[in-house]
Amino acid sequence: MSNKTDWNQVNEWDSKYLLHPFVTAEEYKSCPIERTEGDYLIMPDGTRLLDMFNQLYCVNSGQNVPEIQNAIKEALDRYGFVWDIYSTDYKAEVAKILVEDLLGEEGWAGKVRFTNSGGESVEVATIIARLFTGKEFIATREHSYHGISGVAVGLNRVYAGRSHISRESDKLVKQVPGQGYGATIKCPAPLCYRCSVGHTYPECKSALPDGKLPCVHTTEMFIRNHGVDQVAAMITEPAFGAGTIVPPMEYLPQIYQMTRRLGILMIVDEVLMGFGRLGTWFGYQKMGGGEVKPDIITVAKGLTSSSIGAGAVIVSKEIAKFMDSVRWNHVSTFSGHPIAMAAAVANLKYLIKNDIINKAAEKGEYFGSKLRELQEKHKCVGFIGGYGMFWQVELVKNKETKEPFVEADRNTAFADNPASKPVAMVLNKCLEKGVLLGGFVPNTLRIGASLTISREDMDKAIDALDYALSAVDEMCE
């Protein structure tokens, strides 16, 4: 029982025996969580923390949903474990819900292969793309994030997401030697607030005679320059999670059209945006202007609302036909785990039955309007972008000039003191008000609660943000 837990002992073991992310052992302070509830993490002393980053933007249905918990318990009574060559009712049903119920009307989706995580879904997607096309290279974008494993981390371009190590005392930064960046082509990101090809949105829409966004034009030129004959696919997040970029609406349709022109596959990494984060079932549906039909999508996080880890790759009918015609020597022990599949069935049914995706879109309209009020009020808020329960907030020293607090912005490796970053400041101030906020890059807040957050909790988060941004305003010019 939790009330018998010796939390001092837990904290001691936690500090002594674990390798922790993002901090040195000296910097580490354990944050014990006794249980979760709705949008809250509850500490052993009863402190309730409102989770505005939904853990890693992944508990879409909210914490401790009884329907999902009961389904897991029932599955545990039936199954210990069977691996992926056996069929279970749960696994078959998740695949059917994904291909038929969620994507059937669009007509492109063929079949599903399950995985254990988002990063693994990206690995599998790129393997399929390479096998199907017989080509090696994958085009990716600046500030992208796709996971921690070999190919996935090789596709990551957000500097802080490359599994590197850093240390402030001697400014050490070491990227992983030999990490597989090899067969990737790095293209510009649609970061309109700080355009890396030197344009300004929306004027950039008429910069080129054919109406292509300059970032898309450059992407195409980079791929053509490499040689289309060697390029299997372009991968993109519909909105960038870790890099925290909400692209303009033209970006995804134009990237899609580019892939059709070049005859390469389009992989949409829906690991973070899938299952309602942007107020549509999949992020490409929000960002794609109704015309994007991906060749492959990758999912994880929201598939089970993270009640148990599971991911999947959904491939087009054409790719499914090809993969069905061959023997594929590729399996992972836990993929399609019956307990995870039971969680996925229950989670998807819960999202459908309660119309949670549409409700997330409405919540986003309210939350976005409140964020825009903060933008008006605070000197430090340069830009707000987002939909549903995913929001990008750019913090700047000077609104007019867009001068950032941390010059390297998304190209920082976190080698200097994280406490000096505006995001860290906002985070600490919000914590004083019992609100947890996130941000993976130093000048940008990344905000997104569960899709079931109450209006009262949204207001509470906005009040905490208002308080925190006032402190950042004092650092503005």
Ligand X SMILES: Cc1ncc(COP(=O)(O)O)c(C=O)c1O
Rounded CA separation 344/301 (Å):
10
CB of 462 to ligand X, least distance (A): 25
**Which CB atom, from 300 or from 469, has the smaller least distance to ligand X?**
300
**What DSSP element (H or E) covers 324?**
helix 317-324
Rounded CA separation 123/150 (Å):
8
**Which whole-number Å values give the CA distances from 335 to 59, 118, 312, 316, in the listed order?**
20, 12, 9, 20
What is the per-residue burial (b if ≥16 Cβ within 10 Å, else e) of 181-209?
Answer: bebbbebbbbbbbbbbeebebeebeeeee
Whose CA is closest to 196, among 243, 161, 148?
243
Among 62, 147, 214, 338, binds ligand X (CB under 6 A): 147
Whose CA is closest to 98, among 260, 266, 267, 304?
304
Number of residues that bind ligand X (CB under 6 A): 15
Is residue 117 part of the contact set for ligand X (CB under 6 A)?
A: yes
**Which CB atom, from 190 or from 214, has the smaller least distance to ligand X?**
190
**Which CB atom, from 310 or from 339, has the smaller least distance to ligand X?**
310
Is residue 119 part of the contact set for ligand X (CB under 6 A)?
A: yes
Query: Which region among 141-149, 175-183, 288-296, 395-403 touches ligand X (by CB under 6 A)?
Result: 141-149
- Which residues does 407 contact at the CB level (< 8 Å), separation at least 6? none
> What is the x/- site pattern for ligand X, positions 216-235, by CB under 6 A?
--------------------
CB of 54 to ligand X, least distance (A): 12
Query: Which region among 82-90, 112-120, 170-178, 374-382 touches ligand X (by CB under 6 A)?
Result: 112-120
**Which CB atom, from 244 or from 460, has the smaller least distance to ligand X?**
244
- Contacts (CB under 6 A) with ligand X, residues 30-69: 56
**Which CB atom, from 21 or from 198, has the smaller least distance to ligand X?**
21
CB of 62 to ligand X, least distance (A): 19
Strand partners, 394: 383, 444
Is residue 146 part of the contact set for ligand X (CB under 6 A)?
A: yes
What is the per-residue burial (b if ≥16 Cβ within 10 Å, else e) of 298-319?
Answer: bbbbbbbbbbbbbbbbbbbeeb
Tokens linked to 59: 């508990």
Among 118, 190, 279, 288, binds ligand X (CB under 6 A): 118
Inter-axis angle of helices 422-432 and 455-473, nearest 10 = 130
CB of 112 to ligand X, least distance (A): 17
Among 265, 272, 312, 423, binds ligand X (CB under 6 A): 272
DSSP state of 101: I
Rounded CA separation 297/331 (Å):
19
Strand partners, 35: 42
DSSP state of 194: G
Residue showing the smallest CB distance to ligand X in the complex: 118
Query: Which region among 2-10, 264-272, 350-358, 371-379 touches ligand X (by CB under 6 A)?
Result: 264-272
**Which CB atom, from 75 or from 273, has the smaller least distance to ligand X?**
273
Query: Which region among 130-138, 144-152, 188-196, 414-422 touches ligand X (by CB under 6 A)?
Result: 144-152
- Which residues does 387 contact at the CB level (< 8 Å), separation at least 6? 239, 246, 278, 279, 286, 361, 364, 368
**Which CB atom, from 51 or from 381, has the smaller least distance to ligand X?**
51
Query: Which region among 35-43, 265-273, 352-360, 452-460 touches ligand X (by CB under 6 A)?
Result: 265-273
Question: What one-letter code names the amino acid at 352?
Answer: I
Among 97, 139, 215, 300, binds ligand X (CB under 6 A): 300
CB of 146 to ligand X, least distance (A): 5
CB of 401 to ligand X, least distance (A): 31
Is residue 122 part of the contact set for ligand X (CB under 6 A)?
A: yes
Is residue 237 part of the contact set for ligand X (CB under 6 A)?
A: yes
Is 236 exposed, middle or buried, given 0-12, 13-18 or 19+ CB atoms closer than 10 A?
buried
**Which CB atom, from 405 or from 414, has the smaller least distance to ligand X?**
414
Is 463 exposed, middle or buried, given 0-12, 13-18 or 19+ CB atoms closer than 10 A?
middle
Degrees, nearest 5: CA angle 220-316-244: 50
Query: Which region among 33-41, 199-207, 266-274, 331-339 touches ligand X (by CB under 6 A)?
Result: 266-274
Query: Which region among 21-29, 115-123, 243-251, 380-388 touches ligand X (by CB under 6 A)?
Result: 115-123
Q: Which positions touch ligand X (CB under 6 A)?
A: 56, 117-119, 122, 145-147, 237, 241-242, 269, 271-272, 300
